[in-house]
């Protein structure tokens, strides 16, 4: 079994290779506990093996072993030894817990509101605001600057989820009707094609395993550029544009659930699609029916970080969503604010390609 385990290599989602100070705090507690537990295990096993051999039955020796009962030195010593070990472990544990729970302060802290949905993550950067008052909204792929504290305030619109990026922090439940918090800090910018992976860690229904998170870490300038790009509107094609057919389909069907902010042919910036919120503890959180698609193609993945965003996958997704991800869109009820997945809208192959032609321009 040990040999087989050695073949697994290092998974990208391991808390044992932390990528930030909070992850390192957790990893250090783990290392200490592992070290002490290994010491206790080896010590107890050595005593046991020694006793087995030392006092084994020997051929020809028929005498009964010495009958003993009780030994205050071992009994008291065992209790004291355990208490001392637990006390040693508790110091970094309690300190680490307090550090993790501390609310980061300062002007540079980035505040992000997170909404858990069956089965995707919605992110609203409440301090990143466009001149017309829109906040930065995105989904599943989180972008943060390196070395800066990012404070997540999280809630859910349906069931309990759990936000977990193992290399940056522990997991935190995301509970409907409550706000929970988590701080992320990452050491270094990540290469664009190697974001830090995470995933939902609380069973939340059919596509729980496909409810992933990607964290892209930038340097300060890269983050500022990303924010600027995300706050800009996309473009709604005019009536004579070759993309007009895609827009006709999109604005008639897709905007029942998805929002897009686009500059129309008259130069006016309009947000299409339902503007949905949930209020928890007097705070408004986004409660959209589906991910905001204004800058869909700035993402590398879709379906909550599960599929590479390319024409083939997107074609299959629009044509037959449930062939990619287990969902139950037949139970969607927009009037009841209940969405359980992307429905098959029955578009023709041509309509699907027209919609993708349009989406590809929303970068």
Residues lying near ligand CUA in the complex (CB under 6 A) are found at 116, 119, 161, 200, 202-204, 208, 211
The DSSP letter of residue 12 is S
Q: What is the 3-state secondary structure (H, E, C) of 139-201?
A: ECEEEEECCCCEEEEEEECCCCEEEECCCCCCCEEECECCCEEEEECCCCCCCCCCCEEEEEC
- Token pair listed for 163: 């936000």
In contact, 176 and 114? CB cutoff 8 Å: no
Nearer of residues 115 and 249 to ligand CUA, judged by Cβ: 115
Q: What is the 3-state secondary structure (H, E, C) of 223-266?
A: HHHHHHHHHCCEECCCCCCCCHHHHHHHHHCHHHCCCEEEECCC
What is d(CA 222, CA 108) in angstroms, rounded to the nearest whole number?
16
Give the nearest distance from C-beta 211 to ligand CUA in angstroms.
4
Give the nearest distance from C-beta 325 to ligand CUA in angstroms.
13
Contacts of 63 (CB under 8 A, 6+ apart): none
Give the nearest distance from C-beta 78 to ligand CUA in angstroms.
42
195 φψ region: left (φ > 0), alpha (ψ -120 to 50), beta (else): beta
What is d(CA 242, CA 354) in angstroms, rounded to the nearest whole number?
9
Give the nearest distance from C-beta 69 to ligand CUA in angstroms.
54
**Angle, alpha carbons 203-276-114 (nearest 5°):** 45
Positive/negative CA dihedral, 218, 311, 357, 273:
negative
Give the nearest distance from C-beta 215 to ligand CUA in angstroms.
17
What is d(CA 230, CA 224) in angstroms, rounded to the nearest whole number?
10
Nearer of residues 124 and 202 to ligand CUA, judged by Cβ: 202
Nearer of residues 161 and 272 to ligand CUA, judged by Cβ: 161
Nearer of residues 176 and 189 to ligand CUA, judged by Cβ: 176
Give the nearest distance from C-beta 210 to ligand CUA in angstroms.
9
Nearer of residues 135 and 328 to ligand CUA, judged by Cβ: 328
Nearer of residues 140 and 261 to ligand CUA, judged by Cβ: 140
In contact, 213 and 121? CB cutoff 8 Å: yes
Nearer of residues 171 and 313 to ligand CUA, judged by Cβ: 171
- Token pair listed for 294: 């204004």
CA distances from 333 to 84, 205, 329, 336 (A): 57, 17, 9, 5
Nearer of residues 121 and 223 to ligand CUA, judged by Cβ: 121
Nearer of residues 201 and 262 to ligand CUA, judged by Cβ: 201
Give the nearest distance from C-beta 116 to ligand CUA in angstroms.
6
Give the nearest distance from C-beta 343 to ligand CUA in angstroms.
20
Q: Which residue intervals of the chain are DSSP H helices?
A: 2-6, 21-54, 72-101, 220-231, 244-252, 311-319, 349-359
Give the nearest distance from C-beta 201 to ligand CUA in angstroms.
7
């Amino acid at each position: 079994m040990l040999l087989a385990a050695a073949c697994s290599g290092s998974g990208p989602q391991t808390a044992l290779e932390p990528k930030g100070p909070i992850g390192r705090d957790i990893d250090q507690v783990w290392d200490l506990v592992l070290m002490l537990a290994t010491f206790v295990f080896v010590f107890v096993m050595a005593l046991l093996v020694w006793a087995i051999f030392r006092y084994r039955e020997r051929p020809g020796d028929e005498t009964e072993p010495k009958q003993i009962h009780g030994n205050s030195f071992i009994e008291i010593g065992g209790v004291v030894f355990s208490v001392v070990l637990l006390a040693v472990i508790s110091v970094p544990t309690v300190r680490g817990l307090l550090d993790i729970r501390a609310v980061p302060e300062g002007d540079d802290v980035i505040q992000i509101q997170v909404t858990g949905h069956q089965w995707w993550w919605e992110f609203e950067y409440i301090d990143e605001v466009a001149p017309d008052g829109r906040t930065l909204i995105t989904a599943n792929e989180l972008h943060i600057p390196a070395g800066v504290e990012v404070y997540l305030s999280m809630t859910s619109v349906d069931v309990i989820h759990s936000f977990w990026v193992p290399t940056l922090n522990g997991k935190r439940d995301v509970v409907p009707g409550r706000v929970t918090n988590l701080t992320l800090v990452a050491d270094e910018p990540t290469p664009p094609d190697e974001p830090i992976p995470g995933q939902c860690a609380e069973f939340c229904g059919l596509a729980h395993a496909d409810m992933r998170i990607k964290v892209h870490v930038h340097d300060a300038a890269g983050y500022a550029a990303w924010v600027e790009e995300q706050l800009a509107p996309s473009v709604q094609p005019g009536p004579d544009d070759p993309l007009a057919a895609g827009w006709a389909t999109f604005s008639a069907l897709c905007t029942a659930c998805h929002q897009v902010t686009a500059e129309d042919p008259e130069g006016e910036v309009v947000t299409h699609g339902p503007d949905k919120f949930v209020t928890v503890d007097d705070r408004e959180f986004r409660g959209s029916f589906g991910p905001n698609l204004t800058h869909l193609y700035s993402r590398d993945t879709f379906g909550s970080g599960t599929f590479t965003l390319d024409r083939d996958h997107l074609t299959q997704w629009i044509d037959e969503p449930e062939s990619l991800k287990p969902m139950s869109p037949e139970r969607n009820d927009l009037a009841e604010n209940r969405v359980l997945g992307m429905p098959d809208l029955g578009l023709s192959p041509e309509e699907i390609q027209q919609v993708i032609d349009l989406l590809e321009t929303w970068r």
